[in-house]
Amino acid sequence: MLWRRGVRRIRGVEFARYGNKRLLLDVYMPSAPAVGPRPTLVQIHGGGWIAGSRLEQGIPLLNHMAAHGWVCFNADYRLSPRATFPDHLIDVKRAIAWVREHAEEYGADPDFVCITGGSAGGHLIALAALTDDDPSLQPGFEEADTSVAAAVPFYGLYDLTDSEQVQYPELREWVFERYVLKVAYADAPESYEAASPRHRVHADAPPFLVIHGDRDSLVPVEEARAFVRELRAVSTSPVFYAELAGAEHAFDIGPSVRTARVVETIERFLATMHEQARDGAPLHPDRLGSARPTPSGGDPWT
């Protein structure tokens, strides 16, 4: 899963620069020549908005997707404490805009760009998918198209205001207030709402597949359930939810049977969305095939 035959990797491509700070991405693509534009995936790493990089996250998924004919981009972004939110989100949007602008160079389809990410990356990609119409989050590239065809966040944080009161208090005090937003919630609750995917849901949201483990000890599963509930209440696009029995946070970092099954499911979901976009075919859960994660209860696809 950390290497696949028939996959070509291009390391360290610069997509943005801030002074001496270069933001890089890696490209995963089929080594065989393309007969036409290939569907495109952007991956965003986690790490609490403070750590992490493209070098150790998303690798099994990107190898699998590239082996199935996708062109994938694994992008870094500025990290706190040097970066202050929404710097992180702006960089994710810059990556999407860069991928769309340079798609032809890699045989990618600029008209079908999807996005995935876990943990802090899950938060950022969900927020990016829900705010493509907000020019304030695209300083200097306001006219760029940063919309996505589908979003797959896994074990993400979706409500920085903690409406469900399930988060550890230390998360707000030690991460958001000190290092990421750098403002107290009591002084600027509107900033926390604006940074929360749950408070940004709308009818024109793209299709979502939300994945979370029911044993997540860092981001409680109630966080994902509430986000899915709010998104389903307003979105006209499909919203699928897979809750994994016994899965912890960051379950997919290393190769495992569970990682393989989740990777296969993501590929089938995104492939189905691509087929739907291409042919106008209706989306139905059965078309995702048998590679469904084991839910903790109930049908995760309805």
pLDDT at 278: 87
pLDDT mean across residues, the chain = 92
What percent of the chain clears pLDDT 90, i.e. is strictly above it?
Answer: 86
Catalytic residue among 191, 249, 252, 274: 249
Active site residue 119: yes
CA–CA distance, 175 with 109 (Å, rounded to integer): 37
3-state secondary structure of 87: helix
Active site residue 102: no
Each residue's pLDDT tens digit, 266-285: 999 999 999 999 887 555 54
User: Using 50, 70 and 90 to split pLDDT, how confident is the model at 286?
Assistant: low
Distances (CA, A) of 265 to 4, 51, 54, 82, 211: 18, 27, 22, 36, 10
Say if CB 161 and CB 196 are below 8 A apart: yes
Active site residue 45: no
Domain boundary assignment for the chain? 7-288
Catalytic residue among 159, 216, 252, 274: 216
Each residue's pLDDT tens digit, 107-120: 999 999 999 999 99
Say if CB 151 and CB 115 are below 8 A apart: yes
Catalytic residue among 119, 191, 196, 235: 119
Average pLDDT over residues 99-108: 97
Q: Which of 245, 252, 197 is nearest to 221 (CA)?
A: 245
Average pLDDT over residues 252-269: 92
Average pLDDT over residues 226-240: 98
What CATH number is given for 7-288 in this structure? Answer: 3.40.50.1820
